[in-house]
């Protein structure tokens, strides 16, 4: 079995944090637990102190942000593999064991992802993340990762879904603290850089629970801001695509137009007409943007077969 450390980052969500910690304590294999409290004011620090030596923890003297807290937790860790966990999410009891088994079958992997069950604030199931191809385990070679990330074929997902090798994380430079001001795509930025150092594993089984609620990070930002950062992250991925895909790689301008069209249609679905106009016009009349959108959707369906 691989040596795991679970790094839990938290800020003023004590009730959720207790659930997250308990889900790690109840894992079917032993692991190191580290909690990084980003200067909470809701009694989190007193709670962590009350746990004694059962877990490691750190308290930021001022609010540093999510990325800085992740980096601090990983720096404290002793495990070869890191499993991140936001305080409002939690793990199945066999999550680490199944991930460890998958990693043992592909020692070249540096990142491992699984499906998540989406739940509401009350813990009720409201959905599930999509699979990648068929089969319980899917292995993706390093040279294929970034192209498929660019076209949305590889849904690594949020921190609760992902584990990564610590040495690859360190080589990648850790989480970029520039994302702390706006916490959008910070995890994707990290995954794409970690993927420079090895293969990926996808486990087509829900091993974690992701809470979707009004105080979640994505809900705090406008569609325009989410589009802005979506374009930013796609530009970063674009520069990392393996040269073997050069002949089939769309121009970056086409990627930008496709994303504007995509988010414009989301705005239309949500009846945000002004947002739709600002993001989708005049792109909605661009056949290339529609072609790429359809290509991505069809490729995603084929990839899931």
Give the residue, 276 or 217, on which the prediction is more confident.
Answer: 276
158 shares its domain with 298: no
Per-residue pLDDT at 219: 64
Same domain, 185 and 107: yes
d(CA 120, CA 34): 25
> Can you tell me the distance from the alpha carbon of 252 to that of 232, in angstroms, rounded to the nearest whole number?
11
CA–CA separation, 22 vs 152, rounded Å? Answer: 33
- Looking at residue 47, which CATH number applies to its domain? 3.90.550.10
- Are 145 and 212 contained in the same domain? yes
- Counted domains in the chain: 2
Task: Answer yes or no: do 40 and 184 share one domain.
Answer: yes
Provide the whole-model pTM: 0.92
Q: What are phi and psi of 35, to 5 degrees?
A: -115, 130
The last residue of a domain, from among 183, 216, 249: 216
Percent pLDDT > 90 in the chain is 83
Sign of CA dihedral 44, 49, 52, 55: positive
Local confidence band at 234 (pLDDT 50, 70, 90 cut-offs): very high
- Give the model's pLDDT for residue 304: 43
Boundaries of domain holding 232: 220-304
Cβ atoms within 10 Å of 279's Cβ, excluding its own: 23
Instruction: Using pLDDT thresholds of 50, 70 and 90, give the confidence band for residue 305.
Output: very low
DSSP state for residue 219 in the 8-state scheme: G
pLDDT tens-digit series, residues 100-125 = 999 999 999 999 999 999 999 888 99
Same domain, 31 and 178: yes
**What confidence category does residue 216 fall into, taking pLDDT thresholds of 50, 70 and 90?**
low
Is the domain of 209 the same as that of 228? no
Q: Which of 186, 216, 246 is the last residue in one of the domains?
A: 216
- pLDDT score of 217: 59
**Sign of the CA dihedral running 11, 12, 16, 18:** positive
Q: In the predicted model, what is the mean pLDDT of the chain?
A: 92
209 with 77, same domain? yes
Task: Return the top range by mean pLDDT from 108-117, 218-227, 284-293.
Answer: 108-117
Q: Are 288 and 162 members of one domain?
A: no
148 and 270 part of one domain: no
Tell me, yes or no, whether 124 and 254 share the same domain. no
Q: Are residues 136 and 275 in the same domain?
A: no
Mean pLDDT of 236-241: 97
Measured from the Cβ of residue 296, the count of other Cβ atoms closer than 10 Å reads: 18
Say what the pLDDT of residue 76 is.
97
Do 204 and 224 lie in one domain? The reply is no
The percentage of residues in the chain with a pLDDT greater than 70, rounded to a whole number, is 95
Domain boundary among 170, 192, 216: 216
Q: Which of 145-159, 211-225, 239-253 has the lowest mean pLDDT?
A: 211-225
Mean pLDDT over 64-84 rounds to 96
């Amino acid at each position: 079995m691989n040596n795991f450390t679970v790094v839990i980052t938290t800020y003023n969500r004590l009730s959720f944090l207790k659930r997250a910690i308990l889900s790690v304590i109840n894992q079917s294999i032993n692991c190191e637990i580290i909690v990084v409290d980003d200067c909470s004011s809701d009694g989190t620090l007193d709670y962590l102190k009350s746990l004694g030596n059962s877990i490691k923890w750190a308290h930021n003297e001022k609010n540093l942000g999510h990325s800085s807290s992740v980096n601090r937790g990983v720096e404290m860790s002793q495990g070869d593999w890191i499993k991140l966990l936001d305080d409002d999410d939690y793990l199945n009891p066999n999550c680490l064991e199944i991930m460890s088994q998958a990693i043992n079958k592909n020692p070249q992997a540096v990142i491992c992802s699984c499906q998540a069950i989406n739940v509401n604030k009350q813990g009720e199931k409201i959905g599930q993340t999509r699979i990648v191809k068929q089969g319980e385990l899917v292995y993706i070679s390093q040279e294929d990762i970034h192209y498929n990330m660019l076209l949305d074929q590889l849904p690594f997902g949020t921190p609760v879904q992902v584990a990564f090798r610590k040495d690859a994380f360190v080589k990648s430079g850790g989480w970029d603290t520039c994302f702390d001001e706006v916490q959008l795509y910070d995890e994707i930025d990290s995954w794409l850089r970690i993927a420079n150092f090895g293969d990926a594993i996808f486990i087509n089984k829900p091993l974690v629970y992701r809470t979707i609620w009004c105080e979640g990070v994505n809900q705090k930002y406008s569609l325009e801001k989410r589009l802005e950062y979506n374009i930013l992250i796609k530009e970063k991925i674009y520069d990392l695509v393996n040269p073997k895909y050069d002949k089939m790689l769309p121009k970056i301008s086409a990627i930008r137009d496709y994303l504007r069209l995509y988010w414009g249609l989301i705005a239309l679905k949500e009846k945000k007409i002004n947002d739709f106009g600002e993001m989708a016009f005049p792109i909605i009349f661009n056949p290339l943007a529609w072609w790429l959108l359809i290509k991505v959707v069809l490729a995603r369906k084929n990839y899931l077969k």
